[in-house]
Amino acid sequence: MTDPLERVRRPEYTGENRCWPCTVTNSLLLSVLVGAVAILGRRTAAAAIAVVGAGAIALRGYVVPYTPRFAPRLVAALPIESFDYGEPAGGTGSLSDSSNTSDAATDAAAPTGEAVLGELLEAGAVVAEGDEIYLSSDFQDDWRREVRTLREADLATLAAVADEQTPPSIEARTRRGWGRPVLVLEGDDVEPVTLRRGVAIPELAAARALESRVESGAIRRAAGRPLRSLLEACPLCDGELTVNQSSCCGEVTPIGKTPTEKLVCPACNERFFIFDEEH
Ligand SMILES: [Zn+2]
C-alpha cells in the first residue's frame, strides 16, 4: 500500500528543491492566520490550522496557492537582503562565465558567440538549415547520454566534473543557501559563478560530449549556454520543455516590463534558457 502522505507530497517544491522565500512567506502568513484565529478565542481551530498548515508546508513546500508566483515579488518588496537564487541578477550563471580567467593564455579567454558557433558547425555538433540551427543527431545522442549520467550524480560529483572541465585556477564547490543548492565556481581573478543543477547538468554534459569534437576548453564551456537554447527534453526529468512568459519562483519582472520568453520544464519548475539574455 502506498503511504497516504506520498499522495500530498510535492517533491518538486520540497527537499533539495525547496524554495525558501516560499517557505518563509507561507510560514509568516500561517502564523498571522493562527494568531488572528487565536485572538478570536478559537483555540482549537487555531491549533488545527497550525498543524495542517505546517504539515502542508513541510510536505508540499507551500500552503497558500500560487505562492511561487507572488512570494518573490513580496520578498523583493521587503527591506531585507534579497534571497540568493544562485545566479547573478539579470542572467543565468553559466560555465562560460568561468572562462574569463588570466591563465587562459593557451585557452583563448571568453570566445565570441561567432567563434563558438563556427567551432560547433565545424565539429558537426550543430547544423545550419537556412536561418535555423539544429543539433546534429550524433551530437544530440552523445549529449543526451552525458546528461543522463550526470542527472544521477549528486552535487559533489557535479563539482568534481566541473573541476575537470574548468581551468586549474577555478575551484568548484557546492553551496546550500536560501534557494536551491548550487555549484559555485571560484577563482582568484574571476567573479564567483553560481550554477543551478538545471544549468550545471546540461552545460557540463555538453562540455563532455564536445571533448572528442572541439579542442578548446574555453569553446566547450562557452558552448553550454547557447546549446541550452536547443534543448528538446528536460535535462532533469526528460519531460517536454515549453516556452512561456510566466514568472516563476525566484524572479521579479519590473513593473512596466514584459516578462521574457523562457525555455522551461513545467514539471520541474525549472528554466533552462532565457531567450533575450544579453550575453
Ligand atoms: Zn523536468
Instruction: Say how far apart CA 52 and CA 120 lie, in whole Å.
Output: 54
Of residues 51, 49, 55, 59, the one with CA closest to residue 8: 59
Q: Is residue 241 part of a domain?
A: no
Q: Ligand 1 center to residue 107 CA distance, Å? A: 34
Residue ending a domain, choose from 77, 111, 138: 77
Name the grid cell of 170.
Answer: 577555478
Neighbours of 188 (CB within 10 A): 10
Q: What is the pLDDT of residues 21-57, one digit of tens each?
A: 677 778 888 888 889 888 888 888 888 888 888 888 8
- pTM comes to 0.65
Answer yes or no: do 114 and 227 share one domain. Answer: yes
- Residues 218/222/223/228 CA torsion (nearest 10 deg): 150
Q: Is residue 200 part of a domain?
A: yes
Question: Which chain residues have CB less than 5 Å from ligand 1, an ion?
Answer: 234, 236-237, 239, 265, 267-268
Answer yes or no: do 156 and 68 share one domain. Answer: no
Answer yes or no: do 218 and 102 share one domain. Answer: yes
Instruction: Say how far apart CA 92 and CA 263 lie, in whole Å.
Output: 12
Q: Minimum mean pLDDT among 73-77, 175-179, 190-194, 203-207: which range?
A: 73-77
Q: How confident is the model at residue 275 (pLDDT cuts 50, 70, 90)?
A: confident
Mean pLDDT within 71-84 = 53
Answer yes or no: do 130 and 53 share one domain. Answer: no
Q: For residue 196, what are the contacts with CB-CB under 8 A and spacing of at least 6? A: 86, 87, 92, 93, 180, 182, 270
Q: Is residue 264 part of a domain?
A: no
Residue 26 sits in which domain range?
A: 4-77
Q: Ligand 1 center to residue 35 CA distance, Å? A: 38
pLDDT at 148: 96
Q: Ligand 1 center to residue 16 CA distance, Å? A: 14
Q: Is residue 247 part of a domain?
A: no
Q: Is residue 55 part of a domain?
A: yes
* pLDDT for residue 248 is more than 70: no
Answer yes or no: do 40 and 151 share one domain. Answer: no
Q: How confident is the model at residue 77 (pLDDT cuts 50, 70, 90)?
A: low
pLDDT at 241: 92
Number of domains in the chain: 2
Residue for grid cell 497516504: 4
Q: Ligand 1 center to residue 202 CA distance, Å? A: 12
Q: Is residue 208 part of a domain?
A: yes
Q: Ligand 1 center to residue 278 CA distance, Å? A: 25
Instruction: Say how far apart CA 121 and CA 143 lie, in whole Å.
Output: 15
pLDDT at 124: 95
Residue type at 11 in one-letter notation: P
Neighbours of 115 (CB within 10 A): 15
Q: Is residue 171 part of a domain?
A: yes
Residue ending a domain, choose from 43, 77, 111: 77
- 58 backbone dihedrals φ, ψ, rounded to 5°: -65, -45
pLDDT at 177: 61
Name the grid cell of 126.
Answer: 550543430
Q: Ligand 1 center to residue 263 CA distance, Å? A: 11
Q: What is the pLDDT of residues 126-168, one digit of tens each?
A: 999 988 899 999 999 999 999 999 999 999 999 999 999 999 9
Q: Which of 47-61, 94-108, 124-138, 242-256 has the highest mean pLDDT?
A: 124-138
Answer yes or no: do 110 and 223 share one domain. Answer: yes
Answer yes or no: do 31 and 68 share one domain. Answer: yes
